[in-house]
Structure 1
Amino acid sequence: MKEFHSRKDPCDTVIIDPRLIDLLENIRRLTGKPVHINSGYRSKEYNRIIKNASPKSQHCEGKAADIWIEGISPEKVAQYAECFLGASGGIGIYHTFTHVDVRSGKSRWKGAY
């Protein structure tokens, strides 16, 4: 549970959608490697101070994680996530990580950082 919460976030509450846990576990099983979480749950207060964070961030709903897997490119991690998300969820590809979320709609993007 602690890997979903930033030490910099002053809020002690951590919300995690069970579908996000299932997605990350499925990616881990598919790759056979640990899935590292850069950013998971964020309180709205903490989210406001993060550069380029959306005020409607899925992280604040416990539905998103920014992840990386050693030896696997963010593009490839996105392809793995696509296998499980299909017509829903969010996938964003960044230079060093992949954003995945379990929103009800579908969103795909390539980030700038």
Structure 2
Amino acid sequence: MLDLALDSMNKHARIVICGAVSQYGKKPTGITGTLNLMSQAARMEGFSVWDYRNQYPEAVRTISRWIEAGKVKRKFYIAEPFERCPEHLANLLKGINVGKM
């Protein structure tokens, strides 16, 4: 996915790095599109929710209002039975489920 983004980004693009669950348990690989980053004068920047932890209470209030107003839809993935937890965890890391598990 990252390689596709690097191939089609605009001049002065900003690539945000976040949510790497799909990479858990895999051998790390390098970025192949660094020439594109340079030629497009783009940058990549990591993002961590922990950098904004002091804003968490207000975010919960705001998002709760959006959910109540129907502006945000939630999806849940119920994984049963409990005995299949190892399989469900593997599916989570593969990105098979949609929404909150």
Question: What is the TM-score with the length of structure 1 in the denominator?
Answer: 0.21
Which has a greater percent of helix?
Answer: 2
Structure of higher RCO (CA pairs closer than 8 Å, 6+ residues apart): 2
Which has a greater percent of strand?
Answer: 1
Question: What is the TM-score with the length of structure 2 in the denominator?
Answer: 0.23
Compare CA radii of gyration and give the structure with the larger one.
Answer: 2
